[in-house]
């Protein structure tokens, strides 16, 4: 397994977000992390990335305890794409992607030919090769998101984490991004975990769905999650309903 969560506990002040949460996600799979606002999705991703410590429990990546990894070793195993919009003027997208090679360069940051080849390939994989010299402040939200995913690919890690990558995107762009992540997981052998509020994307494109229903975490194959009734229970009393037949969330009176 590429990601192993062992009895993870998360807390926000006195509030328990997760208690003894365990899950295992294999290489070559795409998993959506779903749950209501404030459930701890972003916190859990940061814990898996090694940016925060859990209140209890442990994380292993590719069979190695995360706590035993140095920052340099961690950077070679896991990459993280945050949810914030990034607009960098006068910095070409290929230069942004090249930042993913930082863990492998010397103190000068000089790129070797093999580093430049990985940057070019990462841009090609996300369909942004033609935008190599274009700066992010001249791109759409979807194009910028692809560049940031290319940066994670250039980092060449077996595990990729993304915090709400479909936020700020219109519906066609959300589906395009989901298909891209699925292809990268299956064809490149990556273990990709991303948080999302798009239930139809989570169930329609992903191999697994990991549902936070405070304080528990349930990880199931996406089709099994759709049939389990857990999503309906999550939205009970919220004024919306989950249609298991279509995998869509609708207003309760529709």
Q: Give 44-72 pLDDT, tens digit per residue.
A: 999 999 999 999 999 999 999 999 999 88
Query: Mean pLDDT over residues 100-128, rounded?
Result: 87
Confidence tier at 173 by pLDDT (50, 70, 90): confident
Positive/negative CA dihedral, 139, 143, 149, 151:
negative
Reduce the DSSP state of residue 41 to 3 states and report it.
helix
Rounded to the nearest integer, the mean pLDDT of the chain is 88
CA–CA gap between residue 216 and residue 233 (Å, rounded)? 13
Query: Mean pLDDT over residues 177-194, rounded?
Result: 93
CA–CA gap between residue 185 and residue 179 (Å, rounded)? 10
The reply to whether the predicted model has a pTM over 0.75 is yes
List 34's β-bridge partners, or say none. Answer: 211
Q: Is the pLDDT of residue 143 over 80?
A: yes
Reduce the DSSP state of residue 30 to 3 states and report it.
strand
Cβ atoms of 100 and 153 within 8 Å: the answer is: yes
Query: Mean pLDDT over residues 86-91, rounded?
Result: 77
CA–CA gap between residue 37 and residue 35 (Å, rounded)? 7
Largest CA distance in the chain: 61
Q: What are the distances in angstroms from CA 168 to CA 36, 84, 88, 153, 187?
A: 18, 10, 17, 21, 27
Q: How much is the pLDDT for 77? A: 93
Cβ atoms of 202 and 34 within 8 Å: the answer is: yes
Q: Provide, for the chain, the percentages of residues in helix, strand and coil under a 3-state DSSP scheme, each rounded to the nearest 5.
A: 40, 30, 30
Confidence tier at 123 by pLDDT (50, 70, 90): very high
């Amino acid at each position: 397994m590429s990601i192993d969560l062992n009895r993870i506990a998360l807390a926000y002040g006195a509030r328990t977000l997760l208690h003894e949460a365990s899950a295992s996600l294999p290489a070559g799979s795409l998993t959506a992390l779903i749950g209501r606002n404030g459930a701890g999705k972003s916190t859990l991703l940061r814990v898996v990335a090694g940016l925060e410590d859990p209140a209890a429990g442990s994380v292993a990546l590719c069979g190695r305890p995360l706590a035993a990894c140095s920052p340099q070793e961690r950077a070679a195993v896991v990459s993280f794409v945050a949810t914030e919009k990034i607009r960098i003027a006068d910095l070409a997208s290929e230069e942004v992607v090249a930042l993913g090679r930082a863990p492998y360069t010397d103190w000068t940051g000089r790129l070797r030919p093999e580093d430049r080849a990985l940057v070019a390939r990462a841009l090609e994989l996300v369909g942004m090769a033609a935008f190599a010299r274009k700066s992010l402040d001249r791109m759409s939200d979807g194009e910028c998101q692809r560049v940031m995913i290319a940066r994670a690919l250039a980092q060449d890690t077996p595990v990729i984490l993304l915090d709400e990558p479909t936020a700020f995107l219109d519906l066609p762009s959300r589906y395009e991004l989901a298909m891209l992540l699925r292809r990268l997981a299956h064809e490149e052998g990556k273990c990709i975990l991303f948080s999302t509020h798009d239930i139809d994307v989570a169930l329609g494109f992903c191999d697994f769905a990991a549902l936070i229903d405070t304080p528990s975490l349930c990880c199931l194959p996406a089709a099994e999650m759709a049939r389990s009734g857990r999503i309906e229970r999550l939205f009970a009393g919220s004024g919306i309903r989950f249609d298991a037949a279509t995998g869509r969330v609708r207003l309760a009176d529709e």
